[in-house]
A and B are shown apart, each in its own frame.
Chain A
Amino acid sequence: MFLVALFFSILIGVFIGIFTYRNPKFAAPVLNGLNVVESVPDVALLVLLLPIFGIGTEPTIVASILYSLLPIARNTYTGLSNVPRVYIEIAEALGLTQREVLFQVRFPLSLPLIAGGIRIAVVFTMGVVTLGGLIAAGGLGAALQNGIQLYDMGTILVTGAWVGFLAVLLDGIAGIIESTLKARYGTWS
């Protein structure tokens, strides 16, 4: 469930990032809109989504995606816009079209920053997915919420530790990807 949420967040987030980069008119409204979503408390967001998606997995996934979009989209947008001018000039001098410059140069050179955005998204998603237990989304979140409701300290500790461990692990993996990319491209970033 968590991975599904993350997968869609990345897909949509990167798409929004590229879209806003290519249509700068939309950049401010779209990113500000996402900012507003971001500031809605997670429990409130879940409750808001209940009437639309009903109880269960869907609202949780949708909520995680909504939360994760901002960091990914924003980092994608910032990354694309801030690729050093020299590399763009090189690509143009060689005879790349604008589209090729975007996908062959800007996008790959933004990957470290995009990976950074995904890292933040991972942490957000973990939080929301855990809360999802409240609305019968199943998974670790459900076990955790059960523990809380029954006041079973053991369950809370075990599932809590698991959630924490998973969060750290995923964050670590994303971090490694981010720094590998940076190292590979040399010192420019």
Chain B
Amino acid sequence: MTIKKLFDRVDSVRLENITKKYGEQFAIKNLNLEIQGGELLILIGRSGSGKTTALRTINRLIEPDSGTVSINGADVREFDSVRLRRNIGYVIQNIGLLPHLRISENVGLLLKLEGWNEEEIRKRVRDLLTLVSLPPERFMDRYPHELSGGQQQRVGLARAMAMDPPLFLMDEPFGALDPLLRTQLQDEFFKIKKELGRTIVFITHDINEAFRLGDRIAIMNNAELIQVGTPEELIFSPVSDLVSEIVDSKRKYRHIDTLKVGDMMQPLAREDTLDPGMSAESALDLMVRKGLEFAFVMGKSEVSGRVCLNDVLKARTRGIELKEVTRALPLFSSDTTLIEALAKLKSEGESMGLVLEDNEPAGVLFSDRVLQNLI
């Protein structure tokens, strides 16, 4: 096992002024994009808009005509291209398994070339296949053409993870699948993504997939980057009609300015909240009994906010009142407009706010749930 890691973790991938032409035609034109460590960045756009080209400059499969790509601040041209590629997991568009190798050999190819011994490779391949929900004993010894498209895509995913890379490039990994299988694979991938916690650049042309999986979304059109931002930013402040068209906001979010906070909040009853004056001991009791990780604290006209289990524990050991450890949350009334509420949450960097009706707790507004309900 002699894997020399180029980087233990990826803190940033930066594409600066990247241009690539084929003949007279631009495949990408002056692209500037920074991918942050640990995020899943989606590249989306029509076919031929330059997504694959942009992705491939990162592992040097394509050398741009001008501009620099750097990982953790180091120009990728400083790395040996073979080494670089082995440190980046790449899921190839249209699956890309090698037809003459068994599934186990496809997944373990790089491990073999890196000098792992048979037993280590077998164990690793088993683990990886299990991770992508392919029972190893059923699949290891088969050839790619004996598998369905969906199964082959999982193998492609497993292969990209073989060397445990800190960075993944995924080119339409779930493309060309029927919708049901696609959803299933997305769910599985979401779990894997959480477990791995890696930096991922992910190409898709499916906006729903982008919203489900992406932390941020970069929209490309005609070789250019049009806008990059969180799903909320694209929906609520698109820079052009093209962006609204792609995020479909014209059709789906047309009615958003008529919505009120009350329409989108999660209801909350008085007995589900904690009283600011109650002792930490009984608060803890209540939370443990109800299995809550955090709870809302609401008084008649006193501070309102939330506490998490940890805070309550702290309050107990230090013998202080619950309200001392309560974190204040933005307050809305149920007839505040949704747009206004979301903007406030965003500016305060909060993911939730409390909703009051007649000074009584009525509900909670979660910004990410609002979005999910709308999509």
Q: Give me the interface of A with B, judged by CB distance under 8 Å.
A: 86-87, 89-97, 100, 104-105, 108-109, 111, 184-188
Contact = CB atoms under 8 A, between A and B. Distances in A.
Contacts of A108: 100
Q: Is the interface of A mostly helix, strand, loop or mixed?
A: helix
A105 B100 CA distance: 8
B283 to A, nearest CB: 55
Query: Range of interface residues on chain B?
Result: 20 to 34
20 contacts: A89-B61, A89-B96, A93-B59, A93-B85, A93-B92, A94-B85, A94-B86, A95-B81, A96-B82, A96-B109, A97-B82, A104-B113, A105-B98, A108-B100, A109-B100, A111-B100, A185-B145, A186-B99, A186-B143, A188-B99
B300 to A, nearest CB: 64
Contacts of A86: 96
A84 to B, nearest CB: 9
A105 B84 CA distance: 20
Contacts of B90: 93-94
Contact of A109 (B81, B96, B99, B143): B99
B83 A93 contact: no
B305 interface: no
Most chain B CB inside 10 Å of its own CB: which residue of A93, A97, A109, A187: A93
A184 B81 CA distance: 32
B110 A95 contact: yes
Given A91-B98, A92-B85, A93-B85, 4 more contacts: A86-B96, A95-B82, A96-B109, A104-B109
A185 B100 contact: yes
A90 to B, nearest CB: 4
Nearest to A181: B100
A184 B143 contact: yes
Interface string B208-240: 000000000000000000000000000000000
Given A93-B92, A97-B82, A184 B61 contact: no
Contact of B96 (A93, A96, A186): A93
Interface in B35-88: 59, 61, 81-86
Contacts of B113: 96, 100, 104
B89 to A, nearest CB: 10
B144 interface: yes
Interface string B86-108: 10001010001111100000000
A87 B98 contact: yes
3 nearest A-B residue pairs (beta carbon): A95-B85, A186-B145, A95-B86
B84 A95 contact: yes
Contacts of B59: 93
Contact of B99 (A87, A97, A104): A87
Nearest to A98: B82
Contacts of A95: 81-86, 110
A187 B100 CA distance: 11
Contacts of A89: 61, 96
A185 B99 contact: yes
Contacts of A91: 98
Contacts of B145: 185-187
Nearest to B113: A100
A105 B143 CA distance: 15
B369 to A, nearest CB: 39
Contacts of B61: 89, 92-93
A96 B159 CA distance: 14
A188 B143 CA distance: 13
A93 B96 CA distance: 10
A91 B110 CA distance: 10
A100 B61 CA distance: 17
B111 to A, nearest CB: 11
Most chain B CB inside 10 Å of its own CB: which residue of A93, A94, A187: A94
Contacts of A87: 98-99
B91 to A, nearest CB: 10
B157 to A, nearest CB: 14
Contacts of A187: 145
A80 to B, nearest CB: 14
B100 A184 contact: yes
A16 to B, nearest CB: 23
Nearest to B56: A93
A186 B144 contact: yes
B205 to A, nearest CB: 20
Contacts of B82: 95-97
Contacts of A94: 85-86, 90, 109-110, 159
Nearest to B61: A93
Nearest to A184: B143
A97 B110 CA distance: 11
A94 B82 CA distance: 8
Contact of A90 (B83, B86, B96, B143): B96
Contacts of A188: 99
Nearest to B84: A95
